[in-house]
Amino acid sequence: MKILFLSDLHLGSPLFNHKARILSLLNDSYDTVVLIGDIIDTWEGPVNYIADEHEVLISRLNELNLVVVRGNHDPTFEVLHEIFPNASVLSEYNFEYEDMKIKATHGHEFDDLITKYYWLAKITFPIQWALQRLGLNLKGWLRDLLHSIAAKSQDKQYHDLVNDIEKRAIEAYGERYDAVVMGHTHLPKLVEGDCIYVNSGDWISHSTYVLFEDGKFSLKGEY
């Protein structure tokens, strides 16, 4: 079994410029391609315009055995079905491989900024994008800060799970699943443990993806 996980393409954002890289990646052979949310960025513009702008990439995805997990920037389930008519469009994707139970979810359900303060997320989003257009990676800076703090911590269990969203995901699913695959944070990561945590990163600040092949996860790309 070979599964490709991609997330956070944010099609519609002027910061997305990896179409050729993704099309090349899709030339390989996979049993399933799973898009883990924030594929069509409705916060950037009209869905029809974005779909037309990225028709080549969307058409290629529609040729594959595709699963689409909805993220917080994506359009409604109904609109996602229209864009990806042959895909399974889900809120989360659960599957098993041999004795492994695996959950794929976008991850915004663990983000208080989204679940409790959606209005604040909408306000800060253009600020974050503006900083990135100027070459200032706020999330990258925050990631480095969190890693620095974690390095000084004596809490071995969460030493590598430095983001509160990551910790909450493992706390929620760790006893029932052998692995959790997410997006949302734009922080590519693979943390081994009783429950493996994998984040596929993004295609704005990074160009990363996750492969699941014969029971093993690997994080690939530039990050």
* Of residues 1 and 115, more confidently modeled: 1
Q: Mean pLDDT over residues 38-67, rounded?
A: 95
- pTM of the prediction? 0.82
Report the alpha-carbon distance of residue 199 to residue 14 in Å, rounded: 23
pLDDT surpasses 90 at 70: yes
Tell whether the model's pLDDT for residue 63 goes beyond 60: yes
- Order of strands across the sheet that contains 93-97: 93-97, 100-104, 179-182, 196-199, 189-191
Residue 164: its pLDDT value, please? Answer: 81
pLDDT at 60: 98
The domain tally of the chain equals 1
pLDDT band at 17 (very low <50, low <70, confident <90, very high): confident
Domain carrying residue 177:
2-222
- The tens digit of pLDDT for each residue in 114-171 reads 545 454 555 555 656 555 555 555 555 555 545 444 444 444 444 455 578 888 999 9
* Residues 30-45 pLDDT 10s: 999 999 999 999 988 8
What mean pLDDT comes out for the span 18-34? 97
Q: Look over the chain and give the mean of its residue pLDDT values, rounded to a whole number.
A: 85
pLDDT of residue 156: 47
CATH number at residue 98: 3.60.21.10
Beta strand 93-97 with 100-104: parallel, antiparallel or unpaired? antiparallel
Q: Read off the tokens for 39.
A: 């594929």
C-alpha span between 34 and 104 (Å, rounded): 9
